[in-house]
Amino acid sequence: MKGTSSIDPASLQMLKVARDGGLETAWDRYLAQQPQCGFGELGLCCRNCNMGPCRIDPFGDGPQKGVCGATGDIIVARNLLRMIAAGAAAHSDHGRDIIETLRGVAAGEIKDYTIKDENKLKALAREFGISTEGETVQAIAEKLAEAALEEFGTRKGYLQAIDRVPSKRKEIWEKLGIMPRGIDREVVEAMHRTHFGVDNDPANLILHGLRCSLSDGWGGSLLATEFSDVLFGTPRPVRGRSNLGVLSKEAVNILVHGHEPILSEMLVAAAKDPGLISAARAKGASGINLAGMCCTGNEILMRHGVPVAGNFLQQELAVITGALEAVVVDVQCIMPALGQLAACYHTKFISTSPKAKFPGAIHIPFNEHNALETAREIIRQAIENYPNRDKNRVFIPEETTAYVAGFSVEAILSALGGTLTPLIEAVKNKKIRGIAALVGCNNPKVTQDYNHVNMAKALIARDVLVVETGCAAIASAKAGLLLPEAAELAGAGLAEVCRALGLPPVLHMGSCVDISRILTVAAALARELGVDIADLPVAGAAPEWMSEKAVSIGAYVVASGIFTVLGTVPPVLGSNVVADLLTRQAKDLVGGYFAVETDPFKAAELIIAHIDAKRAALGI
């Protein structure tokens, strides 16, 4: 859908408010960037050394080599590897912060968090070969945290969670030499290889890109998920509300945006503090209303049913409601535009991470050691700010939609009665045709939520069970697809399964790091069936992706053997060699491969055709 900004009525109303008020959003800035740089779009510019910058003429009239002699193929491959490295680094550094927190809790240095899921702690400890017999929870947690931190620089050969993978998959990775070793090591090696004068073979670069991404999917992201569950609780199905209408006209509104649940969990706790609630009332507010955005929103909606105000492209729109006392952020996917925009209102833009400072933000450093007190201070500042709200400038769209989220692997298993067998049976007898994972961001190149929602609907209508994370899942929440009632939009087979189990046809499995949950289910299904992950009737898609994290995700999903459709074009089309590697040769190498399809209906057809082919090969 070209030329329209969003299919979300709340976004459309807010965009009108923005226009009327002369306020600029990402959509305006996107237009102002037109036409975007053609070299950049194709991946053909290089700034990796100061003989450059260099660019390759895609039409063949101008230079075909950089100053060093690098061809377009080399430049495109190097640029892609750097994108993967940045994405893997972001997820993995997030994972490290969670593990460090667990380590501090276990050592008694961090007092404001507790271990919420001891069963998961013990299960992980066993996975790492740590004995749990007769040990205290504290002692187990300390050893487990140490072992997990080792994963970032481990020299034991490969990452622990690789043992979750079917042996066929391991053999493929070993044969190709892409078994992920240490988590940090693969990112460092990616930066080394793309330094001037190192790796100049496109295929060799891309193979390392796959290895680096695997250290994210089966490493950093997976640890982020598992250790968040240990610390904050493993998600269970929970109901909540979504979209900008969750903001309140009467209450102190605090929006928490970013990624790491270390911050958002503590804000959830502090927002319940009776003292703070009465302080809010003393200022004339009805109470404190905490709402989430993007992935940190997903973390707290999964665990607490906290309302989610929207996905990536709604961060500015939330400010434009004029009803936010504070936007509190940590890391990732936070637009630097927020500072200037917040200054047009009474809204305080509060940054909290030493890693992420923003123009126009008030910085309140948050760390695990002073977590609750800092969370209280942040909320206090928001409360103080409430009288500054200009009621005449408040416009909150009515839109809210209920959702059910919280489908961790454990929750799915318990919905299935403890084993994967009912799911496998439903797939075998074609009530469920296959499974598609829809993940990733919004991007102003795509009408907001148009690809997400239409792809999800097209897939469930054809009996494909859809599992989601990230901003894709929030799009489905807003569209009402995360409700058991949405089974009526599903094909007869899927609808029957959903009704029997009380499940929505689209399962919200969490934040972007929680794509590791999807990998874990896929690996378990493959092991159960005695096949490789690549043999499953399963596919992935990132219909509106924008971030480098999404590039790393796409790479590890493909490297894990899963066909993946991208809904926005990655900057690789400047090289036929690289494009061919990703969309064709990858199939022979790792089983998974990419397709690019910007039309969500055609993308759904690609997935259905892939699933049907896999079913046929399995003889089901």
User: Contact, 330 vs 366, CB < 8 A?
Assistant: yes
Would you count residue 516 as binding ligand CUV (CB under 6 A)? no
Give, to the nearest 10 degrees, the angle between helix 202-215 and helix 167-176.
Answer: 140
Residue 212 assigned as binding residue: no
Residue 45 assigned as binding residue: yes
Distances (CA, A) of 112 to 109, 269, 453, 548, 619: 10, 10, 39, 33, 53
* Residue choice 196, 281, 424, 524 for contact with ligand SF4 (CB under 6 A): 196
CA 264-268-271 angle, to 5 degrees, is: 130
Q: Which strands sit side by side in the sheet containing 563-566, from one edge to the other?
A: 506-508, 464-468, 434-438, 538-542, 563-566, 594-596
Task: Please name the helix (run of DSSP H) or strand (run of DSSP E) that holds residue 415, with its range, or none.
Answer: helix 409-415
The upper half-sphere exposure of residue 320, i.e. CA atoms within 13 Å in the direction of its Cβ, equals: 24
**Beta-carbon contacts of residue 129 (< 8 Å; ≥ 6 apart):** none
Q: Residue type for 563, please? A: F
* Site track for ligand CUV across 550-589, x = CB under 6 A: x---------------------------------------
Please report, as residue ranges, which positions from 46 to 65 form the binding site for ligand CUV (by CB under 6 A).
none
The partner in contact with residue 51, picked from ligand CUV, ligand SF4, none with C-beta cut-offs of 5 to 8 angstroms by kind, is: ligand SF4
Q: Which of 320, 247, 239 lies closest to 19 in space, CA to CA?
A: 320
User: Contact, 69 vs 197, CB < 8 A?
Assistant: no
Would you count residue 68 as binding ligand SF4 (CB under 6 A)? yes
Among the residue ranges 15-23, 161-169, 421-429, 547-555, the one whose residues contact ligand CUV (CB under 6 A): 547-555
Q: Shortest approach of ligand CUV to residue 485 CB, angstroms?
A: 25
Mapped onto helix, strand or coil, the DSSP state of residue 239 is strand
Nearer to ligand CUV, 313 or 497 (CB): 313
Rounded distance between C-alpha atoms, residue 226 and residue 517, angstroms: 9
Nearer to ligand CUV, 223 or 441 (CB): 441
Among the residue ranges 70-78, 228-236, 500-508, 546-554, the one whose residues contact ligand CUV (CB under 6 A): 546-554
Would you count residue 547 as binding ligand CUV (CB under 6 A)? yes
Would you count residue 569 as binding ligand SF4 (CB under 6 A)? no
Rounded distance between C-alpha atoms, residue 558 and residue 400, angstroms: 35
User: Contact, 316 vs 341, CB < 8 A?
Assistant: yes
Tokens of 372: 């609750």
* Residue choice 16, 29, 53, 118 for contact with ligand SF4 (CB under 6 A): 53
Q: Is 71 exposed, middle or buried (0-12, 13-18, 19+ CB in 10 A)?
A: middle
Would you count residue 338 as binding ligand CUV (CB under 6 A)? no
* Residue choice 113, 312, 403, 407 for contact with ligand CUV (CB under 6 A): 312
The partner in contact with residue 46, picked from ligand CUV, ligand SF4, none with C-beta cut-offs of 5 to 8 angstroms by kind, is: ligand SF4
Nearer to ligand CUV, 318 or 526 (CB): 318
Number of residues located near ligand CUV, criterion CB under 6 A: 15
Binding-site sequence positions for [Ni-4Fe-4S] cluster: 259, 295, 333, 441, 471, 512
Binding-site sequence positions: 37, 45-46, 49, 54, 68, 259, 295, 333, 441, 471, 512
What does the binding site for ligand SF4 look like in residue numbers (CB under 6 A)?
Answer: 46-49, 51-54, 66-68, 70, 75, 196
What does the binding site for ligand CUV look like in residue numbers (CB under 6 A)?
Answer: 259, 294-295, 311-312, 333, 440-441, 470-471, 511-512, 547, 549-550
Binding-site sequence positions for [4Fe-4S] cluster: 37, 45-46, 49, 54, 68
